[in-house]
Amino acid sequence: MTAIAVSPAFDHFAAIVGAKNVVGSPAELRTYECDGLLGYRVRPELVVLPGTTEEVAACVVLARELGMPVVPRGAGTGLSGGALPSEGCVVIGLARMKKILEVDLANRVARVQPGVINLDITRALQADGWYYAPDPSSQSVCTIGGNVAENSGGAHCLKYGFTVNHVLGLTLVTPDGAVVALGSQAGEPDVLGYDLTGVVVGSEGMTGIVTEVLVRILRSPQRTQTLFATFPSTDEAGDAVSRIIGAGIVPAAIEMCDALAIEAIVAATDVDWPLDVGALLLMDADGVEEEVDEVAARARTHVEAAGALEIRAPKDDAERLLAWKGRKAAFAAMGRISPNYYVQDGVIPRKEIGKVLREIAALGARAGLRVANVFHAGDGNLHPLVLYDGRIPGQEHAAEEVGGEILRVCLRYGGSVTGEHGVGHDKACYLGEQFSPDDLATMQMIRTTFDPERRFNPEKMFPTPRLCGDKPGAYVPHATETAGEAARG
Amino acid sequence: MTATAVSIAGVTPREIVTPRSIDELAAIVRELHDARKAFAFVGGGTALDLGNSPRALDVAVRTSALDAIVDYAPEDQTITVEAGATLADLDRVLARHGQMLPLDVADRERSTIGGVVATNRYGRRRQRYGTAKDLIVGVSIVRPDGVRARGGGKVVKNVAGFDLPKLAVGALGTLGAIATVTFRLYPIPEAARAVVLRFGREAALGAALHEMIVRRLEPESVALYDYRALVVTFAGTQRGTDAQARTLVDEIAPAHGVEAAPLSELERESYEQRERAVRRDGSWRFRVIAPPAEPVATAANAVPATPLAVPVAYPLLGIALHAHSEETLAAPPDAAPDWPVHDLRETVADRTHNRGHVVFDAIPAAARGLVDPWGPTPPSFALMRTLKQNFDPHGLCNPGRFIGGL
* Any domain includes A481: no
- The per-residue pLDDT for A473 is 39
Test A380 with B387 for CB contact under 8 angstroms: no
* Lowest model confidence (mean pLDDT) among A37-41, A372-376, A406-410: A37-41
| CATH class, range B281-364 | alpha beta
Whether the CB-CB separation of A14 and A62 falls below 8 Å is answered with no
* Any domain includes A247: yes
Flag whether pLDDT at A125 surpasses 50: yes
Test A193 with B353 for CB contact under 8 angstroms: no
Flag whether pLDDT at A485 surpasses 60: no
* Any domain includes A374: no
- The per-residue pLDDT for B214 is 87
- The per-residue pLDDT for B324 is 36
Predicted ipTM?
0.93
* Any domain includes A246: yes
Give the confidence band of A488 by pLDDT, cuts at 50, 70, 90: very low
pLDDT: which is higher, A119 or B342: A119
Q: How far is CA B3 from CA A410, B14, B85, B324, in A?
A: 47, 10, 21, 44
* Any domain includes A277: yes
* Any domain includes A397: no
Q: How many residues does chain B have?
A: 406
Domain extent listing, chain B: 69-187, 191-275, 281-364
Ranges of chain B whose pLDDT falls below 70: 1-4, 201-203, 282, 294-340
Query: Cα separation of B152 and B150, whole Å?
Result: 7
Among the partner residues B130, B143, B406, nearest to A442 by beta-carbon distance: B143
Query: What residues of chain A lie within 8 A of the CB of B354, using their CB?
Result: 185
According to the CATH classification, is domain B69-187 in 3.30.465.10? yes
Whether the CB-CB separation of B244 and B237 falls below 8 Å is answered with no
At which of A96, A124, A142 does a domain end? A96
**Domain co-membership, A38 together with A69:** yes
- The per-residue pLDDT for A467 is 76
User: Which domain covers residue A282, as residue numbers?
Assistant: 223-333
Flag whether pLDDT at A31 surpasses 80: yes
pLDDT in tens, A186-211: 888 888 999 999 999 999 999 999 99
**Domain co-membership, A240 together with A266:** yes
Query: Cα separation of B256 and B250, whole Å?
Result: 11
Test B243 with A291 for CB contact under 8 angstroms: yes
Pairing status of strand A100-104 against strand A253-258: unpaired
Test B384 with A194 for CB contact under 8 angstroms: yes
pLDDT in tens, B258-289: 999 999 989 988 888 877 777 777 677 778 78
pLDDT in tens, A230-266: 999 999 999 999 999 989 898 999 999 999 999 999 9
**Domain co-membership, A122 together with A215:** yes
According to the CATH classification, is domain B191-275 in 3.30.70.3450? yes
At which of A52, A78, A96 does a domain end? A96
**Domain co-membership, A83 together with A182:** no
Which of A473, A360, A27, A198 is closest to B383 using CA atoms? Answer: A198
**Domain co-membership, A228 together with A323:** yes
Our count of domains for chain A comes to 3
| Mutate which: A156, A288, A426, vs B, most B CBs within 10 A | A288
Query: What residues of chain B lie within 8 A of the CB of A177, using their CB?
Result: none
| Residue A447 CA to its chain's centroid (Å) | 21
- The per-residue pLDDT for A315 is 87
- The per-residue pLDDT for B3 is 46
Test A351 with B76 for CB contact under 8 angstroms: yes
pLDDT in tens, B330-375: 545 556 666 667 777 887 777 777 888 888 888 888 888 888 999 8
Flag whether pLDDT at A157 surpasses 70: yes
Query: Cα separation of A34 and A85, whole Å?
Result: 7
pLDDT: which is higher, A83 or B199: A83
- The per-residue pLDDT for B337 is 63
Mean pLDDT calculated for residue range A475-480: 42
Test A380 with B148 for CB contact under 8 angstroms: no
Among the partner residues A381, A420, A439, nearest to B151 by beta-carbon distance: A439
- The per-residue pLDDT for B336 is 64
**Domain co-membership, A104 together with A206:** yes
